[in-house]
Amino acid sequence: EVQLVESGGGLVKPGGSLRLSCAASGFTFSSYSMNWVRQAPGKGLEWVSSISSSSSYIYYADSVKGRFTISRDNAKNSLYLQMNSLRAEDTAVYYCARAVTVTTPDYWGQGTLVTVSS
Amino acid sequence: SSELTQDPAVSVALGQTVRITCQGDSLRSYYASWYQQKPGQAPVLVIYGKNNRPSGIPDRFSGSSSGNTASLTITGAQAEDEADYYCNSRDSSGNPFGGGTKLTVL
C-alpha cells in the first residue's frame, strides 16, 4: 500500500523558514517523480514543485521560485521542501504526492498545515 | 490563477447523471486527470489517461475529451459523490490544476 506521510508544518512568522518532510513507503520511491502541492484555506489546489526520480529535473511554481527548494533522499525514501522567506500567502496545507507525470499526482499524503502569521 | 477553467459549482439530483467540465489549451494535446476531494481529506485520483479508473473507483465515474475540453461524468450520482472535483493536465502553463468544481447532490 502506498503511504506518504508529511511532517514539519507549523506556525512561523513572516520572513521565517520551515522544512517539510515526506516519508514514503509501499512503492519503489527511487523510481518516481514527486510533487509538493498546496491548498490555502478554502481555496483550490496549487502545484508548488516537482522533482524527478534522480533529482535531475526540478521545477517550481513562479510563486515560490527563489524561496523554496525541493530535494529528496532516495536512500531514506524521503522528500523535502525547504521554505524560506515565508509570506502570509504561503499559508496552506502542503501535500506530498507521487507523480505519474511531472505535474500529475496519483497518490497523496494527508498534508501538513503551514501557517505564516505574526 | 489557473490555466484550466472549471465551473465553480454544479448540482445533480440523486441518481441522475452529471458532467463536470474543464477547459484549457493543454487539453488539445494531453488527457486530463480528475481528483475528488471531500472536506478535510486529501484529493483522490478518480480518472487518468484516456478514461482509466484507479482500483477502487466506482465505474459510474468516466472521463472524455473533445478539443480543448475534458469532462468527468458521473452516471447515477450518489450522495457520497458530493465533493470538490479538480482537473489536472500535464504541461499546462501556470498551475496544472483547474480551479475546482463543487458538486452538490440534491
pLDDT of B94? 78
With an 8 Å Cβ cutoff, is A41 touching chain B? no
Q: Exposed/middle/buried for B79, CB within 10 Å: 0-12, 13-18, 19+?
A: exposed
B90 and A111 in contact by Cβ < 8 A?
A: no
CA distances from B69 to B7, B24, B26, B66, B90 (A): 12, 7, 9, 5, 14
Shortest Cα–Cα distance, A10 to chain B (Å)? 17
The single-letter DSSP state of residue A118 is -
Helix (H) or strand (E) holding A42: none
Q: Among candidates B22, B2, B21, which has minimal Cα distance to B96?
A: B2
With an 8 Å Cβ cutoff, is B36 touching chain A? no
pLDDT in tens, B86-101: 999 986 667 899 999 9
3-state secondary structure chain B: CECCEECCEEEECCCCCEEEEEECHHHHCCCEEEEEECCCCCCEEEEECCCECCCCCCCCEEEEEECCEEEEEECCCCHHHCEEEEEEECCCCCECECCCEEEEEC
CB B55 within 8 A of CB B46: no
pLDDT of A103? 81
pLDDT in tens, B17-59: 999 999 999 899 999 999 999 999 999 999 999 899 999 999 9
pLDDT of B2? 56
pLDDT of B90? 81
Residues of chain A contacting B100 with CB distance shorter than 8 Å: 44-45
For residue B90, give the nearest of A61, A101, A110 by CB distance.
A101
CB B77 within 8 A of CB B105: yes
Residues of chain A contacting B88 with CB distance shorter than 8 Å: 103-105
Residues of chain A predicted below pLDDT 50: none
How far is the first Cα of chain B from the last one, in angstroms, to the nearest whole number? 30
pLDDT of A102? 79
